A and B are shown apart, each in its own frame.
Chain A
Amino acid sequence: MTAAAGSTAKPLSLRGLAKHYATADGRVIEALLPIDLDIASGEFLVVVGPSGCGKSTMLNILAGLTPPSAGEARVGDVPVRGPDIDRGMVFQDYALFPWLDVIGNVEFGLERKGLPRRQRREVAMRYLEMVGLAEFADKRPRELSGGMKQRVAIARTFATEPSIIFMDEPFGALDALTRRYLQHELLRIWQEHRKTVVFITHSVVEAIYLADRIVLMTARPGRIKTMLKVDLAHPRDPTSDKFRAIERRVYADLDEELAKSFRMEGRDTAG
């Protein structure tokens, strides 16, 4: 199943991308300071940062769900203006449609793309097999465990053959063992299907395990603090010296930001 049909991966570029909100009392909150970033076609980019650093905001802008306040994001040469089925997204809380069965969920995007019934059943089944859930095709999402739900969501996203996939802390709600297994599975699928992936996480180990490149973001207002290439061959061993060395470096940068964000929280509650 190598070299899957469908659209190939596309590069993504951010130019001066920024976001601010106006609060009810007229204050302006800077969520995201202008960001410039180029993500290569087929790259696995992981964004790490403290809570409230604007990484989800960034992802929503890239997916076209929220308009930026300034700047622009481009997929290839085409500016992002709204959501598009060519850009997939995996959510932390799975976002499966509870009124559809498992295969219905995977078929949702295929139907929107206009695939005839027989063909979308076939494609959906293939992707369910890919995540090892073919025999659960006619179950309802509520009958599945969290890890299984997220595998369905991954199948649903990959099935539409997007050129870019955004993942918003997809494994954040899962237990450690399931998480480890799904990281491994995701890498396997990504190596087969080579999509451009932008992945958000709190977990430094997860970032190093998955990423071609790690982007470290600062506490509010969010901007890029450090970028870091991870030049380790897959599968990566979190107990290896090289892995540990990268981990130490990321934590050193991150600790500064965490301290800042805690101070800010203190100020927020005091004010």
Chain B
Amino acid sequence: MTTASVPAGAKPRGPVARLRGQGARLLPYFYAAVGVVAVWWAVVLIAKPHMSLLPSPLLTAKTFVQLMASGELPRDAAYSVARVLAAWSLAALVAVPLGFAMGRWQRLERVLDPVVELFRPISPLAWIPLAILWFGIDEGGKIFVIFIGTFFPILLNTIAGAKNIDPVLIRAGRILGCQDDASLFRKVVLPASLPQVIVGLRISFGTGWAAIIAAELVAARSGLGYLISNGMEVLRSDFVLVGMVTIGVLGVLFDTVFRWVDARYNWIGE
């Protein structure tokens, strides 16, 4: 009862403070960006590479503005994001329920776990040839590849979350009026494993984001991966760099959104 008067970890947490917290979290990325640009510029000034090998940051910025104005970059980015979102949502729709089932029913897990373990080490990129054969180079193939890439992180994290629930919480739930499995799931199993499920969703979005670029490099007529591969073909390395920078910035943005969701729904605490 020593903490009666001053509970640990109590701090004011209004919306303003939270916003400032988000800003502070983005600050390191800003410093990193400044550092990277400085090194990049130094290399350009000292080594003087040909413009088609490594353009200066200034030229890249100009190209960035150009591609933004022409609408090419927003269009390519939107294509990539839409593909990842579609495939990732689809994967979540399958992997989350399956993960809960495998995490709570040992028998199902024993049957399916070897299958999962066999497929898991295969990189989603290794599926690209089959995806092209099966679904062509249209959206289907790319969504399939991203589906594979996002499916396993979601599945494995959901299984872990559902499996590692403190059994005493299950007992407490049953004692406190959750007699049937449905109410026990809704009131105890789901909230207890939610933090781990969110971790899976976050990680998989990252892997999906990495994989979409690869899939678009191989076979696409749109998307950031296409912008990059096309830039290489027409010897416009500034296109390549604009594509790369956009990938990095969007990746950080998505991760920030996920961290925010995580902070909001994660009861494990800081």
Asked whether B269 lies within 8 Å of A140 as measured between CB atoms, the reply is: yes
| Binary CB contact string for chain B from 247 to 259 against chain A (1 if under 8 A, 0 otherwise) | 0000000000000
A84 and B168 CA atoms in complex are apart in Å by 16
- Given the interface pairs A85-B177, A89-B175, the reply to whether A181 lies near B1 with Cβ below 8 Å is yes
B174 to A, closest residue via Cβ: A83
Number of interface residues of A (CB under 8 A): 33
B46 within 8 A of A: no
B28 within 8 A of A: no
Interface residues of B in 1-44 (CB under 8 A from A): 1-4, 7-10
Residues of chain B contacted by A65 (CB below 8 angstroms): 171, 174-175
Asked whether A109 lies within 8 Å of B3 as measured between CB atoms, the reply is: no
A88 and B176 CA atoms in complex are apart in Å by 7
| Binary CB contact string for chain A from 240 to 259 against chain B (1 if under 8 A, 0 otherwise) | 00000000000000000000
A99 and B178 CA atoms in complex are apart in Å by 17
Chain B interface mostly: loop
A160 and B176 CA atoms in complex are apart in Å by 8
Asked whether B192 lies within 8 Å of A99 as measured between CB atoms, the reply is: yes
Asked whether A95 lies within 8 Å of B172 as measured between CB atoms, the reply is: yes
Residues of chain A contacted by B7 (CB below 8 angstroms): 136, 139, 143-144
B8 to A, closest residue via Cβ: A143
A75 and B3 CA atoms in complex are apart in Å by 40
Number of interface residues of B (CB under 8 A): 29
Asked whether B1 lies within 8 Å of A85 as measured between CB atoms, the reply is: no
Contact of A109 among B1, B176, B188 (CB under 8 A): B176
A229 within 8 A of B: no
Contact of B175 among A83, A98, A181 (CB under 8 A): A83
Asked whether A113 lies within 8 Å of B177 as measured between CB atoms, the reply is: yes
B2 to A, closest residue via Cβ: A145
Asked whether B3 lies within 8 Å of A145 as measured between CB atoms, the reply is: yes
A112 and B192 CA atoms in complex are apart in Å by 18
| Binary CB contact string for chain A from 98 to 115 against chain B (1 if under 8 A, 0 otherwise) | 111000000011001100
Residues of chain B contacted by A144 (CB below 8 angstroms): 3, 7
A108 to B, closest residue via Cβ: B176
B269 to A, closest residue via Cβ: A142
| Binary CB contact string for chain B from 144 to 178 against chain A (1 if under 8 A, 0 otherwise) | 00000000000000000000001011011111111
- Given the interface pairs A83-B175, A97-B188, the reply to whether A143 lies near B10 with Cβ below 8 Å is yes
Residues of chain B contacted by A136 (CB below 8 angstroms): 7
Contact of B168 among A87, A91, A160, A181 (CB under 8 A): A91
Residues of chain B contacted by A85 (CB below 8 angstroms): 175-177
Contact of B177 among A93, A97, A160 (CB under 8 A): A160
A97 and B193 CA atoms in complex are apart in Å by 12
User: Could you jot down 10 A-B contacts, CB within 8 Å?
Assistant: A65-B174, A82-B179, A83-B174, A88-B175, A99-B267, A108-B187, A109-B177, A112-B187, A139-B10, A178-B1
Which residues of A come within 8 Å of B, CB atoms?
A: 63, 65, 82-85, 87-89, 91, 93, 95, 97-100, 108-109, 112-113, 136, 139-140, 142-145, 147-148, 156, 160, 178, 181
New contact pairs (6) apart from A95-B168, A145-B2, CB-CB < 8 Å: A83-B175, A85-B176, A97-B173, A99-B194, A147-B1, A178-B1
Q: Which 10 A-B pairs have the closest CB atoms?
A: A112-B177, A99-B267, A95-B172, A85-B177, A109-B176, A83-B174, A99-B191, A95-B168, A143-B7, A89-B175
